[in-house]
Structure 1
């Protein structure tokens, strides 16, 4: 194994960064993602973010059909040779069995917006997921208690629904499940 070189992990270094850089990163609680050689580093999420992820993960796991797996970050999704992202919650394709990271188009990617990641989640990661063929992309905005549901149609995302507060979202993709944004966030 190559010795750890902290300079390789410097986000101010002019890239390009590679999977080798990600794989050499220390286990320090910092989320690292790679898109086309650019390194994105994210601090630990807030309490409300963690609460929403935990509840959504639980709801999806209870409803999932046999053979599907629901995972939470940090777990890499590497759809191409130069992209590695970590959706807050993801559902892997049944034939995607790589123990180190997901590779095949996800059935669902979910991002919980935070002030520090909002633009990356709404623009960059949306584009990555869309280009990779991720069937459904959900965006949860905690401050607005809003869940935006996008589904892939003819290679592009279309907005299927926007649910707010106590409104119930009855998902069809990736499988039937009932989601209420306010319930994901309440104490």
Structure 2
């Protein structure tokens, strides 16, 4: 009976068996994206991201790629696993695995074949109608606790951007940026986001 329950646990991570780890995550047979935040599973929308989401992601990733070319910092876009360990890098001890829409990692030692283990320098999330408020709150907490230097939240439908900057281990929010603003990164030298250009033409179709 116990073996049967363990078998079901691996195949169906949405049952009420408690908290999960990265070791569990690696064994799940699933055909859609999930994230693990402090041991709790958050299932992403089964459908592909909306067109506007994709356009914004591509624009930013392309800009960052050009700026970072030849540097040690690397930009990655989802799906890309970021493991945020608290005390240990062992799979069984990691209970948070997220897939940020965009992230920049400047420490090569944090990169391996499975993705990133440790806090990226910059993380960007592009909001969509399917975003879960609890998920966003939990992400804010783990990004802050893990030492992500900047956390950018982009709202494509409201055409706004909010930046959280880590100061003495606590996030300090920016004002709400919108059309007409140029937003520089404090941790990625040379990266400035032009919001007019970013949001241009998104609602024309």
Q: 1:64 to 1:161 in 2, by over 3 A?
A: farther
Give deviations 1:23-42, integer Å, cap 9, x for gaps: 233462x2211122211110
**RMSD of equivalent CA atoms:** 2.0
**What is the Cα deviation at residue 99 of structure 1?**
2.0
**What is the Cα deviation at residue 64 of structure 1?**
2.0
Give deviations 1:54-75, integer Å, cap 9, x for gaps: 1111111111260110001111
- Contact 2:10/2:29 (CA < 8 Å) preserved in 1? no
1:19 paired residue number: 22
**What is the Cα deviation at residue 121 of structure 1?**
5.3
C-alpha distance in structure 2 between counterparts of 1:35 and 1:64, whole Å: 29
Picking from 152, 155, 158, the partner of 1:144 is 158
**What is the Cα deviation at residue 120 of structure 1?**
4.2
**What is the correspondence of 1:128-143 to structure 2 with a 5 Å cutoff?**
128-143=142-157
- SS of 2:157's equivalent in the other structure is helix
1:74 paired residue number: 79
Picking from 37, 51, 76, the partner of 2:39 is 37
**What is the Cα deviation at residue 11 of structure 1?**
4.6
TM-score (structure 2 length as normaliser)? 0.80
Aligned length: 182
**What is the correspondence of 1:55-134 to structure 2 with a 5 Å cutoff?**
55-64=59-68, 66-80=71-85, 81-95=94-108, 96-120=110-134, 122-134=136-148
Say which structure is richer in strand: 1
- Unaligned ranges ≥5, structure 2: 1-6, 86-93
- Unaligned ranges ≥5, structure 1: none
C-alpha distance in structure 1 between counterparts of 2:27 and 2:136, whole Å: 28
C-alpha distance in structure 1 between counterparts of 2:168 and 2:49, whole Å: 34
- SS of 2:112's equivalent in the other structure is coil
2:182 paired residue number: 168
